[in-house]
Amino acid sequence: MTLLVVSGLTVRDQAGTVLVEDVSFTVEAGERIGLIGESGSGKSLTALAVAGLLPPGITATGTALIDGVDIIAAPVDMISASEKARTGVRGKIVSTVFQEPLTALDPLMTAGRQIAVPLRRFRGLRGSALRAAVGAALDEVRLTDTDRIAGSYPHQLSGGQRQRVAIAMALACRPRLLIADEPTTALDVTVQAEILDLLDSLVAAHGSALLFITHDLPVAARVARHTHVLRSGRIVESGPIAELITAPVHEYTRTLVAAARRFDAALEGLTRD
Amino acid sequence: MSRRRSVHLAIGLALVGLVVGAVLMSYLWLPFAPDDTSGGRLTAPGGDHLLGTDKLGRDLFTQLLIGGRIALGTALGAVAVGGVLGVGAGLLAGFATRWRDDVAAVTLDILIAFPTLLLAMLIVAGAGASLGTAILAIGLAMAAIVARLTRVLVKQVLTRDYITAARIAGISWPRIVLGHVLPNIGPVVLVNLALQAGLAVLAEASLSYLGLGTPPPNASWGRMLFEAQATVLTAPVAALAPGLALVVLVVGVNLSADGLRDLTDPTRRRSR
């Protein structure tokens, strides 16, 4: 079965303004899909709608089937019976990595305790088995000195370490779909490359599908395969990322590619001097 | 913890400790019985009567100690009422969406705009003047302020990604509230409650000064101030003593609240 089917997804705010219009795409198991677009293009809202987690007042219509269960069917309310049904599916299948690792981690919980929460809940681990699993999760994201990091509060870690902890938490229960919403935007460029490599290899190792959201074409090119370009809430162009870069059709895609190439050219110009 | 803050906390706790110690002592030993008028009227400080006597001949130091019981009792009672009601209502309002949220916000603003004294008078008119009604009135007024603060804090915490992450992980709302929301709003609410405790002491003094608080013959610092008013030029100590006691307790509570902020915030703790 297709892991995620989104069709005719439309998101409106309280006043009825259309924020995302008739967006459709699918994610097969193990596939890597990119959603690329500028800020305000609706890419993050699409991801939240898919997870059934739109902020209050914002409503979605259309369908988003995760493993066959419709996440949008009932009106999305913060506390409702259908919410309960959704969390059952969502928690076991989907996991997310967010843009800002500082707010993605509870400032009052040590890294180890936060990673332990989903492990305890979904894998039923307790005591020393739980501690070992937390250590393994931190190991997996290539953090050294895992004992110290497990006992640290988020503010005691660097940005890169925090994002690694967030990734460890997201992947701890082996989700079948990982939604990464601008996971490297808040990081230094050198750390960005490391985190992208890490995501790339972990997703491959676990066979998870990846929905990668970014505004940055080179970043998308690094991890995503099939990619959708969003502009003002609509998908304006779709295709394998290599084709989008070599032969962009839509005006906006061309601008994106040209902008990325200008940076490259500037770098090369400098190295030639 | 910053050096200055820890000094605040130490001085604050010392001042509060002084009052608490004196009040605890008052349960074991009082220099005179509260209604003992054998000392003569308006005796000057010194001798048997450390602070002198009031115009009815009662020992002022004894009254000051008993007033301390009332001040501390009001602070604790009002914080209990205001904290429980305020945090509860604030949590509900924080989770409310759409029109319910608007209703909650406007209601809280109206309640806060309602003067505490007027609220107290209404309650006193209905239930009669007593320490209980004073605590209830002050607690209710405090609840509105605490609820508004809690509401804003809850809304802020709910937008954080770790809440979204917890929801995706299928953690239930009660667990999210206990595990993430309350711990994260706790420090700010606690510090606010401590500040409110200081204000509650002052509010009780005001109510008693106006005759809406503790009825005679129980001494409250506010009523002592009122009774000393007529003789303030001939016997200034009778007014100075409860006034100073109020300052010591309120400043102590406020400094403690200030220092408390750091203790509860891990980002300001130097190390674990």
Is the CB of A98 less than 8 angstroms away from the CB of B165?
yes
What pLDDT is attached to residue B2? 62
What pLDDT is attached to residue B172? 80
- Each residue's pLDDT tens digit, A198-253: 988 998 888 899 999 998 888 888 888 899 999 988 899 998 988 888 888 888 88
Which residue of A87, A96, A170 is in closest CB contact with B170?
A87
Instruction: Using DSSP bridges, classify how beta strands A209-214 and A32-36 pair: parallel, antiparallel or unpaired.
Output: parallel
Q: If you count residue pairs, one on A and one on B, with CB atoms under 8 Å apart, how many are there?
A: 82
What angle, 0 to 180 degrees and rounded to 10, lies between the N-to-C axes of helices B60-95 and B221-228? Answer: 130
Q: In the predicted model, what is the mean pLDDT of residues A115-131?
A: 85
Containing domain of residue A203, as a range?
Answer: 4-102+176-272
| pLDDT of residue B140 exceeding 50 | yes
Is the CB of B168 less than 8 angstroms away from the CB of A95?
yes
Is the CB of A153 less than 8 angstroms away from the CB of B98?
no
Omega cis (within 30) before A55: no
Q: In the predicted model, what is the mean pLDDT of residues A110-124?
A: 86
Compute the distance between CA of residue A215 and CA of residue B214 in angstroms, rounded to an integer: 66
Q: Which residues of A touch B105 (CB under 8 A)?
A: none
**Do residues A166 and A97 touch, judged by C-beta distance below 8 A?**
yes
pLDDT bucket at A77, cuts 50 / 70 / 90: very low
In a domain, A133, yes or no: no
In a domain, A182, yes or no: yes
Q: In the predicted model, what is the mean pLDDT of residues B64-82?
A: 91
Compute the distance between CA of residue B197 and CA of residue B260 in angstroms, rounded to an integer: 14
Q: Which residues of A touch B172 (CB under 8 A)?
A: 87
Tokens representing residue A211 in the block:
């929905």
What pLDDT is attached to residue A88? 66
CA torsion sign, B218 to B222 to B225 to B229?
negative
Which residue of A14, A91, A153 is in closest CB contact with B169?
A91
Which CATH number do you get for residue A9?
3.40.50.300
Q: Which of B163, B168, B265, B269 to mutate to test the interface with A (most CBs of A within 10 A)?
A: B168
Question: Which range among A192-201, B70-79, B125-134, B154-163 shows the weakest confidence by mean pLDDT?
Answer: B125-134
In a domain, A199, yes or no: yes
B→A interface, C-beta within 8 Å: 95, 97-98, 159-162, 164-173, 179-180, 183-184, 266-267, 272
Looking at the complex, report in whole angstroms how far the Cα of residue B145 sits from the nearest Cα belonging to chain A. 25
| pLDDT of residue A96 exceeding 90 | no
ipTM of the complex model: 0.74
Q: In the predicted model, what is the mean pLDDT of residues A25-53?
A: 87
In a domain, A116, yes or no: no
What pLDDT is attached to residue A90? 72
What pLDDT is attached to residue A108? 86
| pLDDT of residue A145 exceeding 80 | yes
Is the CB of B168 less than 8 angstroms away from the CB of A79?
no
| pLDDT of residue A91 exceeding 90 | no
Is the CB of A107 less than 8 angstroms away from the CB of B266?
yes
Domain ranges for chain B, please list them: 3-29+58-263
Compute the distance between CA of residue A85 and CA of residue A81 in angstroms, rounded to an integer: 7
Compute the distance between CA of residue A59 and CA of residue A76 in angstroms, rounded to an integer: 7
- Each residue's pLDDT tens digit, B180-226: 999 889 888 998 999 999 999 998 888 888 888 777 777 788 888 88
Compute the distance between CA of residue A145 and CA of residue A142 in angstroms, rounded to an integer: 10
Which residue of A87, A104, A121 is in closest CB contact with B165?
A104
What pLDDT is attached to residue A144? 85
Compute the distance between CA of residue A21 and CA of residue B270 in angstroms, rounded to an integer: 50
The pLDDT mean for chain B works out to 84
Compute the distance between CA of residue A23 and CA of residue A13 in angstroms, rounded to an integer: 16
Pick the CATH number of B3-29+58-263 from 3.40.50.10800, 1.10.3720.10, 1.10.10.10, 2.40.50.140: 1.10.3720.10
Which residue of B95, B162, B267 is in closest CB contact with A104?
B162
Looking at the complex, report in whole angstroms how far the Cα of residue B189 sits from the nearest Cα belonging to chain A. 15
Q: Which of A48, A103, A156, A163 to mutate to test the interface with B (most CBs of B within 10 A)?
A: A103
Residue A77 neighbours by CB distance under 10 Å: 12
**Do residues A46 and A23 touch, judged by C-beta distance below 8 A?**
yes
Query: What percent of chain A lies above the pLDDT cut of 70?
Result: 93
In degrees, rounded to 5, the angle at the alpha carbon of residue A265 between the alpha carbons of residues A263 and A270 is 100
At residue A226, φ and ψ (nearest 5 deg) are: -70, 130
Is the CB of A121 less than 8 angstroms away from the CB of B161?
no
- Candidates A59, A61, A78; CA nearest to A14 is A59
What pLDDT is attached to residue A43? 86
| pLDDT of residue B78 exceeding 90 | yes
Query: What percent of chain A lies above the pLDDT cut of 90?
Result: 12
Which residue of B95, B170, B184 is in closest CB contact with A121?
B170
| pLDDT of residue B7 exceeding 90 | no
In a domain, A94, yes or no: yes
Compute the distance between CA of residue A224 and CA of residue A178 in angstroms, rounded to an integer: 12
What pLDDT is attached to residue A210? 92
What pLDDT is attached to residue A85? 63
Q: In the predicted model, what is the mean pLDDT of residues A125-140?
A: 89
Q: In the predicted model, what is the mean pLDDT of residues A31-36?
A: 91
What pLDDT is attached to residue A273? 61
What pLDDT is attached to residue A78? 45
- At a CB cut-off of 8 Å and minimum separation 6, what does B267 contact? A107, A153, A155
Is the CB of A122 less than 8 angstroms away from the CB of B169?
yes
- Chain B residue whose CA is closest to A151: B272
What pLDDT is attached to residue A229? 92
Q: In the predicted model, what is the mean pLDDT of residues B104-124?
A: 85
Tokens representing residue B181 in the block:
């929301």
The pLDDT mean for chain A works out to 85
- Chain A residue whose CA is closest to B181: A106
Looking at the complex, report in whole angstroms how far the Cα of residue A84 sits from the nearest Cα belonging to chain B. 8
Looking at the complex, report in whole angstroms how far the Cα of residue A134 sits from the nearest Cα belonging to chain B. 16
What pLDDT is attached to residue B39? 67
The residue assigned the tokens 């967030």 is A166
Q: Which residues of A touch B179 (CB under 8 A)?
A: 109, 117
- Each residue's pLDDT tens digit, B244-261: 999 999 999 999 988 887
Longest dimension (CA), chain B: 75
pLDDT bucket at B128, cuts 50 / 70 / 90: confident
In a domain, A135, yes or no: no
Looking at the complex, report in whole angstroms how far the Cα of residue A42 sits from the nearest Cα belonging to chain B. 18
- Chain B residue whose CA is closest to A153: B266
- Chain A residue whose CA is closest to B266: A108
Domains held by chain A: number: 1
Is the CB of A117 less than 8 angstroms away from the CB of B164?
no
Is the pLDDT higher at B18 or at A51? B18
Compute the distance between CA of residue B267 and CA of residue B269 in angstroms, rounded to an integer: 6
Cross-strand pairs, B71: none
Which residue of B98, B173, B184 is in closest CB contact with A57?
B98
